[in-house]
């Protein structure tokens, strides 16, 4: 069970999440599907911190960046009311894809590691298209 | 703590739900927000059983029936893997609204009672409009 | 369609929520079930601001405060990336119940109003019990 | 973007899911986190069809089978009201882990492919333990 991601860079984005009651399941821990929502919120915050409003991007361009791959490794469970930090960085930007590496942390402990691949899609045509240069540049910012 | 709904009629719609692991919370029971999804699925099944595809209704008319009021009374908790039945009936149809009464049952036990009010809305204009006669007739069918 | 709650008091709790992509549905607005999670998080923050950790309360007492009634009125939809404020205040504390009034605001606009009734329950026995005086006092704090 | 799973065997489990309104997001498609819940329900149905109640397993043994890895490839979106079939089969059973391969189908089209690794955990101790032989045998059944 290797990590799906490499070591984080020195500069990365940190997004805080407080675990809600609704996020837990009968095992008393955060349900494994919930982390995908935490990672999504952290990516949107990552982009916002670099000057890109994902909301405006969708409205203005008619494009979207849906998730086309997700690789998650669950190492230790988060619990109700935990204060988590989601660390995010961009591993790679290709012509039509952005590869995010993300880690859900509780203090110094890595709870979940994820690699999430987004593809740039024309919402009307449903086709993968090139990422606009301005967006690609934003994603590449450390 | 009175019931938000009256007695069910003789003819009503019955929709089966199996409680998922993800539906539960750390108290070991179904989270209170999850029942709104169960009720929604049961209303769509209620309409389908009367010949109305809610999916096609939205696409063909540009209208929607969003929830404008919900009154829920939680009497007893549902648990993982329970086989539930959601009973649904229409209490009232007015010019622009449909009032659903719904009960989540586990065998003979009433777990949750709900009254849910839908309003007919023009999706483009964001305005409440009259319910088309065909839809109103469908909702009125016992 | 009257409001389920009265006017807010001068002193109340304000909890910020940023609408996530996952919170929306195909109508392009926040799904009606999602607001119950926003209200839950706001109540927990309301208690925390008054010195009560709901997490510790459950662990230390074996009691819980599940939702036994919810009355929601949806006035206007929230959308992706909206910055919302959930205002919460306690309308009433009885022997075994706490009645919360809550409003989801976007700037000066009331989007959703809710009245949520919690009952104090012994988790082992599954029975409603008296609210411990310390908890009742905390809930009563303005 | 290779498939995380191999070709399905001749004998596999098929679990039907009807896409709910709540499952969609503002892009008009099923949110990527929702598929983890579909896959979970399908695995529980897969076990039930082989004589194993996952509910009873947790209660009787004090063990659980949480997800420790998930690899998802999203090929095409599911939409509201779609009737999907989740195909599931077990790729491998080791001392403490079960590896599921799963595909979400709409008729003949593969929408999502997933590999999900479960580990057998002692709920009290929070430690990975050997899978009881009866459970391992059930998981291995074609």
**Least CA distance to D70: which residue of chain A?**
A72
- Select from D4, D140, D116, D11 the least CA-distant residue to D65: D116
Please give the angle made by the CA atoms of C57, C62 and C63, to the nearest 5 degrees. 70
Return d(Cα B50, Cα A84) in angstroms, integer: 47
| pLDDT tens string C33-92 | 999 999 999 999 999 999 999 999 999 999 999 999 999 999 999 999 999 999 999 999
Residues of chain A in contact with residue B24, where contact means CB-CB under 8 angstroms, are: 25-26
Mutation for testing the B interface, residue in A24, A25, A37 having most B CBs under 10 Å: A25
Q: What is the pLDDT of residue A140?
A: 87
ipTM: 0.95
Q: Which two tokens stand for residue B126?
A: 């964001």
Which entry of D25, D56, D82, D122 is annotated as an active-site residue? Answer: D25
Q: Which residues of C touch D29 (CB under 8 A)?
A: 26
Query: Using CB atoms, which residue from C21, C26, C79 is nearest to D21?
Result: C26
C45 phi, psi to nearest 5 deg: -65, -40
User: In the predicted model, what is the mean pLDDT of chain A?
Assistant: 95
Residue C18: predicted pLDDT: 98
Instruction: Name which of C25, C28, C80 is nearest D22 (Cβ-Cβ).
Output: C25
Could you tell me which chains touch chain D, where touching means 3 or more CB pairs under 8 A? A, B, C
CA distance D5 to A137: 34
Decide: A63 and A121 in contact? Cβ < 8 Å. Answer: yes
B vs D: CB pairs below 8 A: 32
Mean pLDDT computed over C23-42: 98
Chain D hits for B118, CB-CB cut-off 8 Å, are none
From chain D, which residues contact C within 8 Å (Cβ)? 21-22, 24-26, 28-29, 31, 33, 79-80
pLDDT for residue C140 = 87
**Strands lying side by side in the sheet with B63-64:** B63-64, B121-122, B127-128
What pLDDT score does D6 carry?
Answer: 86
**Dist. CA A40–CA A35, nearest whole Å:** 8
Mutate to test the interface with B, among A21, A22, A24, A26 (most CBs of B within 10 A): A26
Sheet order of strands, A127-128 included = A63-64, A121-122, A127-128
Q: What is the pLDDT of residue D11?
A: 74
Within 10 angstroms of residue B110's Cβ, the number of other Cβ atoms is 16
Give Cα separations from D31 to A56, A125, A129, C84, D89 (angstroms): 19, 19, 21, 22, 24
pLDDT attached to residue D5: 86
pLDDT at site D1? 61
Nearest to C33 by CA among B67, A37, B15, B79: B67
pLDDT digits (tens, 9 = 90+) for A6-50: 888 877 899 999 999 999 999 999 999 999 999 999 999 999 999
User: With an 8 Å Cβ cutoff, are B74 and C64 in contact?
Assistant: no
pLDDT per residue, tens digit, chain D (142 aa), is 678 888 888 778 999 999 999 999 999 999 999 999 999 999 999 999 999 999 999 999 999 999 999 999 999 999 999 999 999 999 999 999 999 999 999 999 999 999 999 999 999 998 999 999 999 998 888 8
| Catalytic machinery residues of C | 25
CA angle D23, D28, D31 (to 5 degrees): 40
Distance from CA of A40 to the nearest CA of C (A): 8
Among C25, C28, C79, the residue with its CB nearest the CB of D21 is C25
Q: How far apart are CA A25 and CA B29, in angstroms?
A: 9
Pairing of strands A109-119, A67-74: antiparallel
b/e per residue, B61-71, with b = 16+ CB within 10 A? eebbbbbbbbb
Taking contacts as CB-CB distances below 8 angstroms, the residues of chain A near C44 are 20-21, 81
Nearest CA of chain C to the CA of A61: how many Å? 16
Instruction: Give B-chain residues touching D67 at CB under 8 angstroms.
Output: none
Strands (E), D23-108: 63-64, 67-74, 83-93, 97-106
Is B123 within 8 Å of C27 when comparing Cβ atoms?
yes
C70:B71 CB<8 A: yes
| Partner chains of B (3+ C-beta pairs under 8 Å) | A, C, D
Integer Cα distance of D79 and D85 in angstroms: 13
Q: What does each C-alpha distance from B60 to A126, B30, B56, D6, D24 come to in angstroms? A: 21, 35, 6, 40, 19
User: CB B69 to CB C67 under 8 A?
Assistant: no
Instruction: Looking at the complex, report in whole angstroms how far the Cα of residue D134 sits from the nearest Cα belonging to chain B.
Output: 21
> CA A31, CA C38: separation in Å to the nearest integer?
18
The angle subtended at Cα B64 by Cα B62 and Cα B70, nearest 5°, is 170
What global pTM score does this model have?
0.96
pLDDT band at B1 (very low <50, low <70, confident <90, very high): low
Is it the case that residue A1 has pLDDT exceeding 90?
Answer: no
CB contact under 8 A, B69 and C74: yes
Question: Count of H helices and E strands in chain B?
Answer: 3, 8
* pLDDT at residue A109, rounded to an integer: 98
Contact between A26 and B26 using a beta-carbon 8 Å cutoff = yes
Identify the band that residue B10 occupies on the pLDDT scale cut at 50, 70 and 90.
confident
Q: What's the mean pLDDT when you consider all of chain B?
A: 95
Which of B27, B74, B123 has its CB closest to that of C64? B27
Neighbours of B20 (CB within 10 A): 18
Q: How far apart are CA A100 and CA C22, in angstroms?
A: 18
**Average pLDDT over chain C, rounded to whole?**
95
Catalytic positions of A: 25
């Amino acid at each position: 069970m290797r990590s799906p991601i490499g070591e984080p860079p020195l500069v990365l984005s940190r997004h805080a999440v407080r675990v809600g009651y609704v996020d837990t399941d009968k095992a008393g821990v955060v349900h494994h599907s919930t982390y995908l929502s935490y990672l999504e919120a952290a990516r949107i915050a990552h982009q916002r911190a670099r000057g890109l409003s994902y909301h405006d991007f969708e409205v203005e361009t008619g494009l979207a960046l849906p998730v086309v791959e997700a690789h998650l490794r669950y190492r230790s469970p988060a619990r109700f009311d935990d204060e988590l930090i989601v660390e995010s960085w961009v591993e790679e930007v290709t012509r039509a894809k952005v590869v995010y590496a993300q880690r859900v942390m509780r203090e110094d402990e890595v709870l979940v590691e994820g690699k999430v691949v987004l593809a740039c899609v024309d919402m009307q045509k449903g086709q993968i298209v090139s990422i606009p240069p301005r967006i690609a540049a934003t994603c590449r910012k450390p």
